[in-house]
Amino acid sequence: MAARSTTASTSDARFDAVVVGGSAGALEVLRQILRTMPATTAVPVVVVLHLPPRPPEGLPELLARDCLLAVQQAEDKEPLQPGVVYLAPPGYHLLIESHRAFALSVDDPVHFSRPSIDVLFQSARDTYGGRLLAMLLSGASADGAAGLHEVAAVGGITIVQSPAASEAAAMPSAALALFKPTYVWTPAEMTKELPSLFAVRSSMLGSPA
């Protein structure tokens, strides 16, 4: 095997961004996932959670508490930074533009949700193509399934929380009814397996470009 190239750059790793979606029962799983991400994580992580219309303040702070990465609400036109976890602001769709900056919208809800997971996943797929790691967690609607399918269709890595191990199975089941994802994992498996996926990603970027 060839020695690790000193020119190893983003193009060597398998994904340039992580996107995560979930609704009922997803918050705790999300916390566990964020905990597995090393401080050297070299990609942005973008999250859509369905929340009540007026969610409690301080969700970014709550998630940041046991996560090594900065956690913040995404702002309109903000460029995505590696090693930052972005949350969709309540009441707005969150999209990623082709120049890798966020755009918000107040277009109609999708699957009764704004923010919608499909909207995030589809725009991420349009921007990153297959160079994505996309995760769909526990949830009570079909939002996210179509978007995840599209990510899979262009070769992205897709992870679905196993319905049996989900507080609400509708969301992961909707995805499994459409296609076969790369992995179907329980939360425990995620905690166990994700670090190696992220290790690859962060060591790649560790070398000088």
Partner 1 sequence: MRPEVTDLEIRLLLEAIYERFHYDFRQYAIASIRRRLIQALTAMHCESISALQARILHDERAFPRLLAYLTIQVTDLFRDPEFFLALRQHVVPILATYPSLKLWIAGCSTGEEAYSFAILLAEEGLLDRTLIYATDINDDSLRKAQTGVYALDRLRQFILNYRAAGGTGSLSDYYHADQDNAVMAPELRRRITFADHSLATDSIFSEVQLVSCRNVLIYFDRELQDRALGLFADALCPRGFLCLGTKESIRFSAQAPRFNPMSVGPKIFRRVD
Phi, psi angle pair for 110, to nearest 5°: -115, 130
Distance of closest approach, residue 108 Cβ to partner 1, in angstroms:
7
Binders of partner 1: how many residues, by CB under 8 A?
A: 27
* 111 is a contact residue toward partner 1 (CB under 8 A): no
Window contacting partner 1 (CB under 8 A); options: 3-11, 21-29, 61-69, 143-151: 143-151
Distance of closest approach, residue 99 Cβ to partner 1, in angstroms:
9
The yes-or-no answer on residue 118 being catalytic is: no
Q: What are the E-state strand segments in 107-190?
A: 132-136, 157-161, 183-185
Distance of closest approach, residue 101 Cβ to partner 1, in angstroms:
8
Nearest CA among 115, 52, 45, 97 for reference residue 105: 115
Could you say which residues in the range 28-87 bind partner 1, by CB under 8 A?
A: 75-78
CB 45 within 8 Å of CB 31: no
Question: Tokens 């319905």 label which residue?
Answer: 163
Which of 16, 141, 143, 173 is an active site residue?
143
Distance of closest approach, residue 53 Cβ to partner 1, in angstroms:
11
DSSP for 173-186, written as a single string = HHHHHH---SEEE-
The residue from 153, 164, 188, 200 that contacts partner 1 (CB under 8 A) is 153
Residues 6+ apart with CB under 8 A from 56: none
Window contacting partner 1 (CB under 8 A); options: 60-68, 116-124, 157-165, 168-176: 116-124
User: How big, in percent rounded to 5, are the helix, strand and coil portions of the chain?
Assistant: 35, 20, 45
Can you give the binding site for partner 1, defined by CB under 8 A? 75-78, 89, 91-93, 95-98, 103-108, 119, 122-123, 126-127, 146, 149-150, 153
